[in-house]
Amino acid sequence: MTALLDMLAPASEEDLSRLIAERRDPLRIIGGGTRVEHAGGDRLSTANLSGVVTYSPGEMTLIARPGTPLPEIETMLAAEGQALAFEPPDLRQVLGSNGTPTLGGMVASNASGPRRVMAGACRDHLLGVRFVDGQGRIIKNGGRVMKNVTGLDLSKLLAGSYGTLAVLTEVVLKTLPHLPARATLVFAGVDPARAIQIFSAALATPFDVTGAAWRDGNAYLRVEGLERQLIYRRDRLLALLAEHRPDVLDDRQTVTLWRDLRDLAHFTDRKAPLWRILTKPTEAPAICDRLRELGGTSSMDWGGGLIWYQGPGSAEQIRSVAPHATLIRRAGLSGPAFPPQTGPMARLQSGLRRSFDPHGILNPGLMDA
């Protein structure tokens, strides 16, 4: 966990509420410091707001505070044969961070790995939240089981807001059974356009593909499940895509490969900026081609819906190619990490900020100029 000596670190939700209510100067919200680079403002740590409130394996429901280390949560779930199905990535290596990922940072960034193509994103597994907004108000929203989540679901709004609207103090998550067996189909020597064709064919089947990624000229499809399910799904995909002559990786090889793909082990040159780009899969090949012209390296995940780019190019150049590009690792680049909003989206974002944080103290400059 990041050292607390030079941070504000409230010990309770009530302390956090009082601190924010009296505040007018900027605050930089810190969990483990492992999701996105951001500077400016006094650092406010959630490290003391830690611990599991309750975990009910039978109901597949977890309630915990935001500063709880994510590895502890994953170990606890694994002991019960369960997991966070959306496979949150660990970006410590690419950011050069010595912090520990936290549950709150995971939710605030909507951190979702390769299994999103099948299981959905982090926000899709979020049942409820407690939080303190920019006025110091303590607010609870959502429920503790799926059927109780009614009305305006603020948890979906806060997931992915990166602490610009509120500071989480408690999250309620749905857990799912761990998938015990896995295999990967490997398609060598394919460009992004051919990879998208393969992904589109596989993801249109009922065979529950849980990963569809491309890197360094290789396309990968992952299938998981019980042993008999796995064999059936693997063999049907092999037959469907036989013309591409795929190879097959076993369980051990699959675990290693997808951990590296999830955690961006191929993008650890911290001297180069790293961008996260959301796009339509059909537009991904053209974006990859244009990014290659800038002199960098790209990879694709989520069946082409997510592109990672490491390499040269100003923010203006990158966003002229890919408007929905977020700067994850700056490596000397300045400016807002997130793409500036215009028109109705800008008015909506501004209105939300005024409602939740009228004084503009929570992570200012992260999502806006």
Instruction: Write 252-259 long-range contacts (CB < 8 A, 24+).
Output: 253/184, 254/182, 254/183, 254/184, 254/222, 255/182, 257/184, 257/220, 258/114, 258/182, 258/184, 258/211, 258/213, 258/220, 258/222
> Where in the chain are all domains bearing CATH 3.30.70.2190?
181-263
Q: What is the pLDDT of residue 148?
A: 47
What stretches in the chain show pLDDT beneath 50?
1-2, 146-149
Angstrom distance (rounded) from CA 275 to CA 338: 10
Angstrom distance (rounded) from CA 160 to CA 264: 20
Q: Looking at the domain covering 181-263, what would its CATH class be?
A: alpha beta
User: Reduced to 3 states, what is the DSSP secondary structure of residue 12?
Assistant: coil
Cβ atoms 120, 146 nearer than 8 A = no
> Where in the chain are all domains bearing CATH 3.30.465.10?
13-177
| DSSP one-letter code for 8 | B
Q: What is the pLDDT of residue 138?
A: 97
**What is the reported pTM?**
0.93
Residue keyed to tokens 């990535």 = 89
Q: What is the pLDDT of residue 36?
A: 80
Tokens of 120: 């959905």
Tokens of 129: 């939240």
Provide CATH code, domain 13-177: 3.30.465.10
Provide CATH code, domain 274-329: 3.30.70
How long a stretch of residues is the chain?
Answer: 369
